[in-house]
Structure 1
Amino acid sequence: MNKLKEVVNVVLEQQKLKLAPSTYDVRKNYLKDLVDHGDRLGFSEPCQELYDSFISRANTPDLRFQLFHAVRLVDQEAKTKALTPEGKLYNEPEITSPDESAAVFEKISFPVADGQIDAGLLIRRAENEMSYLQLSSSTRWQYMQAWKELYSFLYLRGNTTFTREACSAFVDDSNLKKKEGLLHEWKRKIRHRSVCVLLEVADTGCFEWKLFPVRKVCCFEDSLEELRQQYNSFLRTQNIENNTIALYDYSFRCLIEGVIVNNANELSKLKPSQIQSMLVFISKKLSVNSRGTVFPIIRQILTYLYVAGFVPRDYSGMVLTPAYQSIHLRPYITASDEKKLFNAMEEAPLRTKAMMRLAIRLGLRDIDICNLRFQQIDWINDQIIVEQEKTGVTLFLPLLEDVGNAIMDYIMNERPVTAAKYPYVFVRKQAPYKKLASMYRVCSGLFAKADIHTVNRDSRGVHVCRYTLTHKLLQKKVPHHVITDTLGHVSKESDKPYFSMDEQMLRECPLDFSLVGQKYWEEGENRG
């Protein structure tokens, strides 16, 4: 009797004790079929190739389920650690229970040393430490799935003991699978974040919610990632704001991706043709305006790489800022598009409806809407009192009926009850309920849904709503000082771009063509 038949016989004895006679007979037939299939193909032992061939015979969902279950039972008994066609283990290893984890950690101090405990114990500890965030069931499930995948990864390596090196290897494996198209980007991100949470719990015993920097796949190779981190460290010594560093980091990653090098050593052989290809690559990704921002940064990066000795020449001279005609007229939406926007808002979430009404009806800036606090809304006197983030000047605006109703509707019917302690009116939909950093996605998403195209240039940010309000006030001949007070401007210089939207006034102020073609200098010895 070969090994395959021995394993199947053991499985049958186990199943006979667990199943009803009719169910056992069905299971027995499929297990016997697996043995016969192995004999025909010449497999005397359970193995991955046998399982794959057996499962591939399924032509209906019901048959696949039966064959799949038969393989799972044999795999479990034979301990072959085989993978399903989807790349998962037929029998995932069991993670310890929360009670067992709690008992172990009563005797352990932090930080946890590499090789000290099983990773499953730490996973349960991390799961417990995140409970205060009151995450949705779907989010909790995603974290646990990522941790199970990490545990299976360790199991396949032959050791489920927690080590930081093994966690890093799991992240590297996820990055590689993403690069090869075997893993979705959102899956790679949740795997990366789950490992970050686990490492923080291993170091401190607890977890505080934060945004973790996600390692970009374009710098998957260690030497390139090390160079990127070195460049970011250099930027931090230059007293540059975090948002600017993020922009420089994005430009650096675009450069590395565009020149197509496999490691940092290949930069020493960089050729002009690669710089040219990189510029074409970036140009296809960015608009003209964005190129005008990113290309000067690319020049600085190339100079940095040359001075630091990574590239053979200073190629910064090859990068020219694209020339484009700056459009001074501000974008706005027409009256018909505004109706389409309000129609789209009726079907939008209540938070979107309230925030967009604040933008288009009162002209508030993005940051002032996101920072709006309950104490800034005077319900009794029907006004909103906002200290503008940009200027620091306090702005008094009327609480219009439709705006107030939209805000109250959101607070009463959609705002999370557990977010009551947070002072900001608009918060994240998921725990932890912090204020939004920006409402650009809210606005741009609604514009896309309503198929709105702005006048003068293509824009989808919240400032379009501010410009639209200004355009409407100018059309109604509202005095300029009233518009200035409504917008909360401090300097008259800030008004100029807005008042240039008065098209009728611009038509009355053009220069004639009388000076065109006239000679206004003379050449000579004394006149240059």
Structure 2
Amino acid sequence: MAEREYAISTIKNHRGVLNSLLKFMKEKNITKLTEEVGMDYIKCKTGTKLQGFWGSSDRKTGRVMKPVQNLLIFMETGELSFFIRSHIQPFICPPGFEKEYKQFQQEYQERNYADATIVCNNNIIHKLLTFLDEKGISNSGKITSVLISKFLANYEESKPKYVATVVYVLRNYLSFLKEAGFIKIDIASSLPHIRILRNAFIPYSWKTEDVKKLLSIIDRGDPKGKRDFAILLLIVRLGLRVSDIRRMQLSNLNWSRKTISIIMQKTCKAIELPILDDIGWALIDYLKNGRPRTASNRIFVRHRAPFDAFGENECFQRELRRYMEAAGINIPSGVICGMHSLRSTLAKNMLEAKAPLSVISETLGHQSINTTSIYIKIDIEGLRKCALDPEEVFQ
């Protein structure tokens, strides 16, 4: 922990807790540390009975639980890693579905699925397997279309776009079960094809004054503020996706040519963007005065020890929400306003500046100009020029 530059107070807390844990194990004649032993120790010290190392806890319990959990993970992996404790119970596959579930996880790797996609798909599959287990279904061979219909009924209040995702994941999993011989009936073919038109949704875009307020509220004297300011500039000014910013390496910066060259994670397409002056100075300020010492080759790293790269599911939503509240920015209810909405704002600004769709498409790294055409709907002034006079139409 000292080598990874943990705070002295954190190391001191860990040392105290783990020495106490060792004393507890000696008194109980326990020679091997397990999760169960750790939870017994935590109950003894705090009075809190845990079902597992997940869920929320009070501050006192957390100060005892964190060192024990860190040690258990270190014993298993040999590494110190940053992690956020899950608020829900980790998934335990019902015994009757373990074989096919493990095979399907291998299938992800063979198909080169992104980590974020695997997590999203597994969330749905976990709910399906838990549902089947609760219904008394002991193996995949007993799955029927009626059961799948009942499972889908749980999503009747969900938005159509998410329902389409659920159906897609189920079709994918059920097709795998049929091809692998775990089920005999082709249930996947009976699932409906839900067509969600991309043009059916209007991307949310920010007002220019709100973007300025967002950037101005960031404390650029703070190391973390320097990092967050640079990240937001890369999205606001260049339209980069969060997934690409997370993976951006020092080698992607060409200071002599003032360019950023990356291969986008979503499209696997190479793109080269200019290091604009404000972005360049923000990056220099962060790299020289804000970035912690780390062995990571990523440009942006966590500012809590160990100073590692961000995980594949980090979307910076928490930081964005905090800055929005500090800046007093109000978002209409029912509107999803994340980092991607700032990317939409760049598209809107380029449209208002009369940039051709082909240029906007190249800047945003779209595979098809049809994707870029979605943003035409947020160019209100441009749409007004397209309005027809009903009297002229019906003359």
The TM-score bracket by the shorter chain reads 0.5 to 0.7
Determine the structure 2 residue equivalent to 1:292.
164
Q: Hey, what's the Cα distance between the residues in 2 that align with 1:139 and 1:171? A: 19
Determine the structure 1 residue equivalent to 2:302.
428
Label 1:361 to 1:272 Cα distance change in 2 as closer, same or farther (>3 A).
Answer: closer
**Paired residues for 1:41-80 under 5 Å:** none
Q: Is the 8 A contact 1:360 1:466 kept in 2?
A: yes
Query: Offset at 1:261?
Result: 3.5
Q: Is the 8 A contact 2:54 2:89 kept in 1?
A: no
Q: Hey, what's the Cα distance between the residues in 1 that align with 2:179 and 2:90? A: 23
Q: Hey, what's the Cα distance between the residues in 1 that align with 2:34 and 2:135? A: 23
Q: Hey, what's the Cα distance between the residues in 2 that align with 1:264 and 1:436? A: 39
Label 1:375 to 1:259 Cα distance change in 2 as closer, same or farther (>3 A).
Answer: closer
Determine the structure 2 residue equivalent to 1:450.
324
Q: Hey, what's the Cα distance between the residues in 1 that align with 2:143 and 2:367? A: 51
**Paired residues for 1:53-202 under 5 Å:** 131-137=2-8, 139-140=10-11, 144=15, 147=18, 151=22, 154-155=25-26, 158-162=28-32, 167-170=34-37, 177-178=50-51, 184=57, 187=62, 191-200=68-77
Does residue 469 of the first structure (1) align with residue 340 of the second (2)? no
Q: 2:128 aligned to 249, 255, 266, which one? A: 255
Q: 1:371 aligned to 238, 247, 256, which one? A: 247
Q: Is the 8 A contact 2:54 2:90 kept in 1?
A: no
Determine the structure 2 residue equivalent to 1:353.
229
**Paired residues for 1:384-399 under 5 Å:** 384-389=259-264, 390-399=267-276
Q: Which segments of 5 or more consecutive residues in structure 1 lack a partner in the other structure? A: 1-129, 201-206, 517-528
Determine the structure 2 residue equivalent to 1:400.
277
Determine the structure 2 residue equivalent to 1:204.
none
Q: Is the 8 A contact 1:427 1:436 kept in 2?
A: yes
Query: Offset at 1:496?
Result: 2.4
TM-score normalised to structure 2 length: 0.68
Q: Is the 8 A contact 2:226 2:290 kept in 1?
A: yes
Q: Is the 8 A contact 1:359 1:466 kept in 2?
A: yes
Label 1:346 to 1:428 Cα distance change in 2 as closer, same or farther (>3 A).
Answer: closer
Q: Hey, what's the Cα distance between the residues in 2 that align with 1:477 and 1:344? A: 30
Determine the structure 1 residue equivalent to 2:217.
344
Label 1:279 to 1:142 Cα distance change in 2 as closer, same or farther (>3 A).
Answer: farther
Q: What SS does the corresponding residue of 1:445 show, helix, strand or coil?
A: helix
Residue type matched to 1:404 in 2?
G
Query: Offset at 1:135?
Result: 2.9
TM-score normalised to structure 1 length: 0.53
Q: Hey, what's the Cα distance between the residues in 2 that align with 1:346 and 1:504? A: 35
Query: Offset at 1:384?
Result: 2.8
Q: Hey, what's the Cα distance between the residues in 1 that align with 2:97 and 2:19? A: 31
Query: Offset at 1:361?
Result: 1.8
Query: Offset at 1:408?
Result: 2.7
Label 1:225 to 1:456 Cα distance change in 2 as closer, same or farther (>3 A).
Answer: same
Determine the structure 2 residue equivalent to 1:495.
372
The number of equivalent residue pairs is 368
Q: Is the 8 A contact 1:366 1:438 kept in 2?
A: no
Q: Hey, what's the Cα distance between the residues in 2 that align with 1:296 and 1:490? A: 22
Query: Offset at 1:393?
Result: 2.8
Residue type matched to 1:161 in 2?
T
Identity of aligned residues (%): 22
Q: Is the 8 A contact 2:39 2:52 kept in 1?
A: no
Query: Offset at 1:333?
Result: 1.0
Q: Is the 8 A contact 1:330 1:467 kept in 2?
A: yes
Label 1:275 to 1:150 Cα distance change in 2 as closer, same or farther (>3 A).
Answer: farther
**Paired residues for 1:484-523 under 5 Å:** 484-489=361-366, 491-509=368-386
Determine the structure 1 residue equivalent to 2:208.
335
Residue type matched to 1:359 in 2?
I
Deviations 1:452-477 (CA, angstroms, capped at 9, x unpaired): 56689733333322221121121122
Residue type matched to 2:211 in 1?
E
Query: Offset at 1:297?
Result: 2.9
Structure index of larger Rg: 1
Q: Hey, what's the Cα distance between the residues in 2 that align with 1:438 and 1:300? A: 22
Label 1:490 to 1:149 Cα distance change in 2 as closer, same or farther (>3 A).
Answer: same
Q: Hey, what's the Cα distance between the residues in 1 that align with 2:313 and 2:179? A: 40
Residue type matched to 2:4 in 1?
L
Q: Which segments of 5 or more consecutive residues in structure 2 lack a partner in the other structure? A: 43-47
Q: Is the 8 A contact 2:250 2:299 kept in 1?
A: yes
Task: Give RMSD over aligned pairs.
Answer: 5.1
Query: Offset at 1:386?
Result: 1.8
Q: Hey, what's the Cα distance between the residues in 2 that align with 1:490 and 1:322? A: 23
Deviations 1:426-474 (CA, angstroms, capped at 9, x unpaired): 1221344333346954255324541556689733333322221121121
**Paired residues for 1:303-314 under 5 Å:** none
Q: Hey, what's the Cα distance between the residues in 2 that align with 1:509 and 1:354? A: 38
Query: Offset at 1:336?
Result: 3.3
Q: Hey, what's the Cα distance between the residues in 2 that align with 1:453 and 1:462? A: 15
Query: Offset at 1:504?
Result: 3.6
